[in-house]
Chains A and B, each alone.
Chain A
Amino acid sequence: MRRSFPLAFPLARSLARRRDRAAWADPRRRLLTLESFAATEEDGGQDLVAAARRVTDPDLRAHVERHAADELRHARMFRDRAREVAAELALSEDAGERPDRPYDLSRGRPGLEQDAHGFFSGGLYDELGEVEYVAMLHVAESRAADLFAHHLDLVRGDDPATAEVFEAILRDEKYHMAYTARFLERWEGEGRAGEVARALRSARSSRAMANWRALGLRSGAGFGKAMLWVAYWVLVTPFALVGRLQQPASGWQAPAERDAGLESQA
């Protein structure tokens, strides 16, 4: 669950709290939220595993490896808690209570092409280099700590088991922020202050851009789908009535006789 607004905006903060409180209060959404956190941590862990292979500084590499292991462990903790919630719910087989799994017949998994921490994905370590990658981690972990503290605050009273998970993860986040800060300071001390400052600026703006784009996509997606839903009932109806009369034939059919070669999309 990513927030679209920085928490500095009081109105945004209030809306986010209300929305997130509602999510934790609904058992089914709580389950989905935990599963989504698990997936996010898993993705982050995988990214870090890949990055650790490319880090040349042995000291930094050890930290990144530990960071990767932490993220994967967090994924397991969220997943275990999700299992407990599912068991507590004893989800009935009523269709309305089934977990809402998106099912795309074309097998695609449409995504925003953002990585686990809200950055654009695509071989980050390779593309960013060491300093920018660590700066990105530092900014992302600060944000994650903020986010988890926010959720801990929301669940502490009502869901102590989930709160325990957040507390354990927050301890790790502090370590992640500390080691990334230490490396950034070390590089600054080695005369690379300008490079570090640029990297931090870039990380913050990249994340802001990614969030802005995600917000735009989400809003656009919601609006676009709403318009398509309206179009379905207004425009599709007459064609649909004809279409329903034409049920497709089953069994072996001769292949389509319209092969227009490889150039054609049809």
Chain B
Amino acid sequence: MMPADGACGGGYRWTPPHRRAGEGPRQEPGAASDQRLLGYDALMFREKKDFELDRLSDEELIAYVVAAREAGRLDAARVGLSIFAHRRFDDLVRRALVRVPTRQDAEDLAGQTLEGVFKAAFKGEAVGEAVNFMYTILARRIADFTDKRKGRETEPLPEDMDDEERKRRDAAISPDETGKVDLADVLERLWKLLSPLHQKVVDDYVFDGYDAKETAERVNIQLPDLDKPMTDQNVHKIASRFREDLRGALGA
């Protein structure tokens, strides 16, 4: 199970609470830049080492890249871009693969998303909660992609494609299955309706993969003043109710 500091294998790392999705609205482009608030501007630009950049939040890293570019330091901007791309690209591709049939399409969409994030940042638009902003762009790119595919004849599959890949191509969720419903939004809306205590339980048990006993222990340590201590049975109940609500909201 996950150690106390949240670190675990495979290049995974602890998520600071402010970077959790759902703690801010989906970010729309257009607001003023918050670079200066983050401590970066072109005139004061100072290059950072890789390991320093890797410690920055997404928002700080994007602001750093913008400042580097405005200072004419494309070399430094490229390093920041690389670290951001390495951090986020694979998950963008996976997220796209839920909706599009081929990895090539998913990688194209992820690349377009990366480009869109920095284009907006360079224009001075606030990226705010960067992850939300990024996935908003990706959702739009996926929507454009599926719209363009509508009415088109299905392309013939390559003859040398293996069975596993054939199955995968058919597994992506199609717009016909969801209608206009954005699955991730449905889930986030339900999560926001929960009390802070129940949100913590859902986070630990459903999304962080702790078992019920561990989840109860974590809650009791972090919230020692609860009227009644959290039990693993309560964890099960809270999680089950959340999942039932999710299935209901998805029309299942």
Do A and B associate with each other?
no
